Structure formats: structure tokens, C-alpha cells
Amino acid sequence: MNHKHHKEKIEDAEITSWKKKLFGSWILTIPIAIIMLSERIFNFPLIEMPYSIITILVIGFPVIFIFGWDTIKGGMRGLFTFYFNMDSLISLGTVVAYLTGIFYFTGFVQDYSGVAAMIMAFFTTGKYVEAKARGRASQEIKKLLELGAKKARILRANKEIEIPIEEVKIGDILIIKPGEKIPTDGIVVKGESSVDESMVTGESLPVEKLKGSNVIGATINQDGILYIKATKVGKDTFLAHIIELVENAQSSKVPIQRLADKITSVFVPIILILAITTFIGWFFFSGDLSKAIGVGVAVLVIACPCALGLATPTALMVGSGMGAKRGILIRKGEAIQTMKEVKIIIFDKTGTITKGKPEVTDIKSLIPEKELLTLSASLEKLSEHPIAKSIVNKANIKNYKKVTGFKVLRGRGVEGKIGKDAIIIGNQTLMNERKINLSKIIDSIEKFEEEGKTTMVVAKNNKILGVMAVADSIKEDSKEAIRRLNKNKYRTVMITGDNERTAKAIAKQVGIKEVIANVLPEDKAKMVEKLQKNCMVAFIGDGINDAPALKQSNVGIAIGTGTDIAIEAGDIVLARGSLIGVVQAINLSKATFRKIKQNLFWAFAYNVIAIPLAVGGVLHPVVAEIAMALSSITVVTNANLLRRKKL
């Protein structure tokens, strides 16, 4: 899959390339501008004629034919193939203007060669801003590949040996110790442990693994030794499958931003025809070749779409900066344009709507609550399980009671002795095994589980002390964010790998009416694709399993507190992890796009006024260049007014 990684380097190289061209162009263009202005505006020549023209031709040559060569080449090709783009006018305008400097010495035409360098310098600035606005390429494929284990410990001829992951074969018995990554997909043949699958599933709670359980490569073994028989290797593994999905979604995504190109494709040929017609008309009626060329160049120069080239990227750059201050990081420029068209917003549950960390939410105690928490925390402090940690955090005590005979009862709970008292903490299965009567708290257990919470019952000497409900708490502002989205007529949907009861309970709390539960990680992207048939979709997630869906959606919004891979797969990243950022991103998108439209209007308003003046021979190409520069400055200034917008 390594060939896929070149895209990132290409995009980074593009930004660097335009940056070099930008600096190179302006270092040479500023002296040209000084020579031109001193001579033609202030009538105070720094260099005597014709040496000033020779100087401009020499200094201007690298600006046009070295820094601007790709633009010239692309534009000229467009003229011959009749595929017109923004480069076409730039190419023709700069080349014709530059050639006037050479032909000046024949005595037929005036010199406009300095204008050529200025046109190219402005255009290069626009291209650099544009490249910057598009953002750097994603590194998600590389990050996914880095997730996998590099080596595997296997059992061969009753000996433990370590081999590179590439040498693992189907049927090999792998040994995974606590804290180690599981090298590849397989099935547990011996041992018991809990496995942290959050980097693949996005779900926060570790999954208990017993003999016969399936395990996924790149997940992390927690607290027991596992012997695993490899069932899939290489490109057949779950991780490789996720990588493939991300690659496919990435390559099939088409940017929406086409407006400037559509306008240019019509605008450019019209201007070319107009410039040629103007040249012929002036030459025919006046017989003055120099004047005819000057007027023709003025038409090309005034119509050069530098402001058009800057209209979109400058607004995007300002919008991006505003977003960054509010923790909304726009990774892909086109996302801010697409966001305003979104009608359906899909939320992943864990780590997106919820905090992604289990917390004790409810306690039903038959003894003083502090005593229940002290007993529970003293035992659970010895366990590594996230539920145990949530109980310890809830108790928040300094002096724990001494525990003897502590034992983890896999998938059910823990037990131990405090003094002479036997303490058990666990689920209903464990209580039923020990024949402990739950009648006093069964109503509370059912109520908590109906709300989609995990219940832990505490018993002392086979008598119930109480029950604690543990849940992945909802973020403080999730409810408010979804209320605002519902109010603005967005269709909000929650998608999760969780069971339907838990999912619906969470959805009800935050105000989401539509729930898609029990969805496998690889199927999330398919669900997004299904909903995309009717309208544009934004997907919000934080786990690796969300990466294909983030890529598939029209706008992928990654939660910044999530995994690196989710962040890399997102078009927009909410660095603060708050869903209010989604509402702000939509408002920012609408405000930015309004600015883009205003900028396009200003870019053309100058042309509408100035082109007739150029055709009439009123505008000198230098004045045309100043007007063109002013249109660019207007566009940049207007874009900066976006900063006043409240989100």
C-alpha cells in the first residue's frame, strides 16, 4: 500500500513550490514596480531610457518564464486545445505584454513589459494562498499502518520465538502478554483477559476475551496472558480492511468547489475574443499598431482574473483563522463551502456525544453511601478495569481499607476480604452464581439498565449493600448543540456499534430522534453512503472505526480529543471536543461562502466598469494593472471583514 503515501508529499511539495515562486516573483517585481512608477507616474526616472526597459526585460524574465513557467505552459496549452482556464488570460496577457518590451526597439509599439511581471507576481500570490487554503494532505493511511504490531511472539516446537509480523502464518500460535499489541486477527485458544479495542471500535470499555473469543490485530491486551491462533494475516486482517475502506473513500471523494472554474471557463474565451476584436478594430480604424496592441493588452490585463483567483482562497483563509481561534480546524478548504449545503448530520456516539470515559452516574445504597464507596473503591483499586477506575474516581478517598484474597472474576466482577468480611462486586450473573438475593434492589437495576447503564452490585457476606450504575456520560453541551441543530431543521442521526437500548437511551437524552444501532465499524461508511443519496451529509466521529465514514461523508468532522487517525480523516476538526463547534462550523461556512460570493462580485464589478474603458482606449495598461491590483486589494479587504462576524 506504500504507493498511496506519495499524495501527502506531493501536496506538501506544491505548497513549498508556490511559496518559493511567491518570494522569487516579488523580490524581482518590486524593483520593476519602483522603476515603472518613478518613470511613468512621477516622471523621475531612476534609469534612463532605453536601459530601464532592458533592465525590466532582464529582471522580469525569471518572474514570467521561470517562476511562472507552469502557468504559461498550462495557459498556452489551453489556447491550442480550447480548454480555457484561469491560466489562459494570465499567459496571453503576460507574454504579449512582455514581448512589447522587445518590440519597443523596432519603434512600432510602446513598452508594457513591466506590467507582465506584476501580473505574474499577483497571480503567484493567489496560487500560493490557494494551495495553503487547501491544507496539507492527510496522513491517515500511514497512521493506520503504524498502528499494527511490528513483531510477534509465537510458539514453535514448544519454544517462544520473536519474529517480524510479516512472517506470521495462518495457524501460528501467538503469545500476547499484558500491555502488548495483538499482532493479527485470531481466536483465543488459551487464557483470559480484557482487550482494549478502542483504537478500532472507538468504544471505551475493554472487551472480555475467553477461550474461543475472536480478537482483532492492533488492539491492546490488558491484564492476562492470551494464546491466540492466527486466523487472518496481511491484507486480509480487519485493520487492512479499514485501511482499504479509507483509501477507497478518499479516492472517490470529489470536491464541490467548482464555481470559480465554471465562471472562468465562460469568462476567458469571451475576453480573448474581445481582446482580439478590440486589437483588430483599433488597428483597422486608426492604423496605429502600437496603440492597437496597447489597447488589446489593456483589455487582457484588466480582465486578468487575479482577483477571481484570490476571491475564494482569501475568504477561506480568513474563515480558517476564525475557526482556529474557536477550536474549529479546517483541514480541507472545500469543506467550508460544502458545509452550508449539508442537510443530514450523523453523530457517532462514544467520544462524540458522550465523553468516552465511563463514570459512576447513579448509586442505590442500603447502607450509608460513603461506606459503600469506601468498601467498593478499596477492592476496585486493585483492578485495572475502566469500570473499576470509575468507581475509585467516584469514591475519591485517601485511606483505602486493606484487602486480602483479591481475585478478578473474568467478565463478572471482583472479590476479596476486608478484615473477616467477604466482599463481592459484580454483575447480576455473578450474584446469581453466588445465590445472592437481589429483590431489594432489582427495581433499581432494571431502571438503570433501561437507561443503558452498566450495573455493579456490591455484597458483603452474601448480603446486598447496594448497586452502582456506570455509564459513558454525555458531554455537557451535546444536548444544547443538538437542540440548535434540530431548531435549524437539520436531520440529526446517531450511529453506533452499541446495542439499541443503550443507543436509544442516549439519543433520547440529547434529543436525537433517529438511531442506527448495532452497526459494525466497516458498515458505518455504507450507512453514510445510503443517506447521501438524497442530500449532503456531515459525519462526526472520533475513533479509527469512524475514519472511512468521515472520508465518505461530504464533510467529515473529527473530534479533536479522539484518535489521530480520525483527526487526519476529518475535513474539519473540533479541537475542543465540543459539539457546539458543529453549530459554529455551519455558521462559519455560511458566513465565509457569503464573503466568497461578495468577492466574486467585486472581482467582476471592476471588469464590468473597466473593460469598456479599456476597449475604448481610455485605460493605459499600467492604469489597467493598478485597477487590477485594486480589485485584488478590495477582495482581500472584504475577506478580512469576515472577522467581525459573530458565530
Q: Kindly list the catalytic residues.
A: 348
In angstroms, rounded to a whole number, what is the distance separating the alpha carbons of residues 55 and 32?
8
Distance between CA atoms of residues 404 and 419, nearest Å: 8
Three-class DSSP category at 347: strand
**Strands ordered across the beta sheet of 226-230:** 159-164, 151-156, 173-176, 226-230, 186-190, 214-215
Phi, psi of 137, deg, nearest 5: -70, 155
Q: In the block, which residue shows the cell 487575479?
A: 306
Whose CA is closest to 393, among 470, 462, 445, 319? 470
CA torsion angle 327 328 332 334 (round to 10): -160
- With contact defined as beta carbons under 8 Å apart, do 292 and 283 qualify? yes
Q: Would you tell me how many other CB atoms lie within 10 Å of the CB of residue 244?
A: 15
CA dihedral (506, 510, 515, 520) positive or negative = negative
Burial track 267-288 (b if 16+ CB lie within 10 A, e otherwise):
bbbebbebbeebbeebbeeeee
**Given its phi and psi angles, is residue 518 left (phi above 0), alpha (psi -120 to 50 degrees) or beta?**
left
Question: What DSSP string runs through 438-489?
Answer: -TTTHHHHHHHHHTT-EEEEEEETTEEEEEEEEEEEEPTTHHHHHHHHHHTT
Select from 36, 30, 27 the least CA-distant residue to 66. 27
Rg (CA), the chain: 33
What is the number of H-type helices and E-type strands within the chain?
23, 22
Closest C-alpha among 345, 331, 246 to residue 586: 345
Helix/strand/coil (H/E/C) assignment for every residue in 398-437: CCCCCCEEEEEECCCEEEEEECCEEEEEECHHHHHHCCCC
Is 151 in a helix, a strand, or coil? strand
642 contacts: CB under 8 Å, gap ≥ 6: 315, 318, 319, 322, 591, 592, 595
Instruction: List CB contacts of 171: < 8 A, sequence separation 6 or more.
Output: 229, 230
Whether 211 and 189 have beta carbons less than 8 Å apart is answered as yes
CA angle 120, 78, 629 (to 5 degrees): 25
Sign of the torsion formed by the C-alpha atoms of 598, 254, 565 and 347: positive
In this structure, the number of other CB atoms found within 10 A of the CB of residue 370 comes to 11
What does the DSSP 8-state code read for residue 178? Answer: T
Q: For the beta carbon of residue 66, count every other beta carbon within 10 angstroms.
A: 12
Distance separating alpha carbons of residues 577 and 358, to the nearest angstrom: 17
Axis crossing angle, helix 306-325 with helix 86-103, rounded to the nearest 10: 130
Among candidates 37, 123, 498, which has minimal Cα distance to 300? 123
CA angle (387 as vertex; 381, 393 as ends), nearest 5: 55
